[in-house]
Structure 1
Amino acid sequence: MLPTREEAMELVRDGLRSNPGPWGKHSLTAAHCAEKIAAACGDMNPEKAYILGLLHDIGRKFGTRHLGHVSDGYTYMKKLGYDEVAKICLTHSFNSQTVDEYFGKFDVSEEELRLIQTELAKVEYDDYDRLIQLCDSLAGAEGVLDIVERMGDVKKRYGSYPKEKWDANIALLHYFEKKMQQNVYLVCEKDTFSPEEIEG
């Protein structure tokens, strides 16, 4: 089950009231990219893609956490009965379906880590999982970013960026460009799109 676009936006507004920050505009940009790419693919649902993009980081409602936002989002969406969103909350951070590739802080309890590992092992990735992984890498709070520049920026901030994840993100870019037969940055309106302020 999926929330409507309006319900999804209200969940983000509520999340920002609990934990204000740039994640709201990042989510709007990811949703915009997901909708545009899904529409250009022709065999995907743009509305579903938008909603999944909007809510992929909803776990941030519960505070500033790294790996923790994955389990928070998954558990929260499961509780509301939004299983498809819960899956995206889980899969958007793991291109190769394992926590081994995660290079942020492991700020989770043993129970939360077990939950992530167990549920991740069960899921079967589809094009929506891949799409939101790509859009997460393209989305900045200020708009659509160059994926290589964004990964370079992360590498500078963290001191490293796993080569497997870097290559996986580039592969996702090529995968969707081939599927659309178009340039991702043109489809996502990189030079013109800017997310609006989310009014509380």
Structure 2
Amino acid sequence: MKLDSEKAEFELEKAAKSNPGLWIDHSRYVAMACKNIALHCNNLSDDMAYTLGLLHDIGRYAGVSSEKHLIDGYRYCMEREWEKAAQICISHAFMIQDIDTSIGEFDVSEEDYQFMKQFINSAVYDNYDRLVQLCDALALPTGFCILEKRFVDVTIRYGLHSATIDRWKKILEIKSLFEKKIGCSIYDLLPGVVENSFR
């Protein structure tokens, strides 16, 4: 089953009926940020970037969960043979490739935990993984925001973790990587980012 933005839109709409919530609008803004940045990167497809952004949280279709949505999304995509989207369903939460840097709760079986641990350790990240990791930190359900606002938003909801600062540093490192590629601030490509960040 070929994956493109039209198919991803259909799948997200279907998931929204299964489990409505703020995650839908968040996913849309992540996708738009991915597309806007990819348009300025020679080696990335803007349609694929948008598609992967739309689907990064698709595992939430199964209901309210913490880290379970990662493996639910992985399985959802693998059943459809969307291997890259499946990887990003897990990799978007692990900008540092170490399961111990998770800030969520592992509401999964021991077997699923061990699978995720091995998967994270062995996954080969490319710029699509890194782009979704970055854009996940640039998007609230209300629109684009500066990274620091999203950092605080997530920390208020999940609490401080021993890896919190290292995760922030990694996202800032990825931000710098993409800004070198595009030759400008990522914020220049996110309409309304100032207004949404400071409302």
Q: Same fold (TM over 0.5)?
A: yes
1:121 shift after superposition:
2.4
Q: Measure, in 2, the Cα distance between the counterparts of 1:83 and 1:157.
A: 30
1:157-199 CA-partner distances (Å, limit 9, x unpaired): 33315111011111111111111111111112244899xxxxx
Q: 1:189 aligns with which of 173, 177, 191?
A: 191
Partner of 1:131: 131
Partner of 2:112: 112
Q: 1:172 aligns with which of 171, 174, 178?
A: 174
Report if the CA contact (8 A) 2:59-2:71 is conserved. yes
Partner of 1:18: 18
- Shifted more, 34-43 versus 158-167: the winner is 158-167
Letter in 2 for 1:134: L
Report if the CA contact (8 A) 1:2-1:85 is conserved. no
Aligned residue pair count: 194
CA RMSD across the alignment: 1.7
1:122-146 CA-partner distances (Å, limit 9, x unpaired): 3211000000000001111110011
Partner of 2:46: 46
Query: Which secondary structure does the structure 2 equivalent of 1:41 belong to?
Result: coil
Name segments (4+ residues, structure 1) moved above 4 Å: none
Letter in 2 for 1:53: G
Which structure would you say has the larger RCO, counting Cα contacts within 8 Å and 6 or more residues apart? 1
1:30-83 CA-partner distances (Å, limit 9, x unpaired): 000000101112221111100000000000000111110100000110011111
1:117 shift after superposition:
1.3
1:72-127 CA-partner distances (Å, limit 9, x unpaired): 00011001111111011110000111211001111111111112112222321100
Q: Measure, in 1, the Cα distance between the counterparts of 2:158 and 2:128.
A: 28
Q: How does 1:21-100 map to 2 (within 5 A)?
A: 21-100=21-100
Q: Measure, in 2, the Cα distance between the counterparts of 1:89 and 1:58.
A: 7
Q: Measure, in 2, the Cα distance between the counterparts of 1:9 and 1:52.
A: 11
Query: Which secondary structure does the structure 1 equivalent of 2:65 belong to?
Result: coil
Query: Which secondary structure does the structure 1 equivalent of 2:137 belong to?
Result: helix
Report if the CA contact (8 A) 1:98-1:117 is conserved. yes
Report if the CA contact (8 A) 2:95-2:133 is conserved. yes
Partner of 1:198: none
Partner of 2:165: 163
Q: TM-score w.r.t. structure 1 length?
A: 0.91
> Structure 1 residues 181, 2: CA separation in 2 closer, same or farther (over 3 Å shift)?
farther
Q: Point out where structure 2 has 5 or more consecutive residues left out of the alignment.
A: none
Q: Point out where structure 1 has 5 or more consecutive residues left out of the alignment.
A: 195-200
Percent identical residues:
36
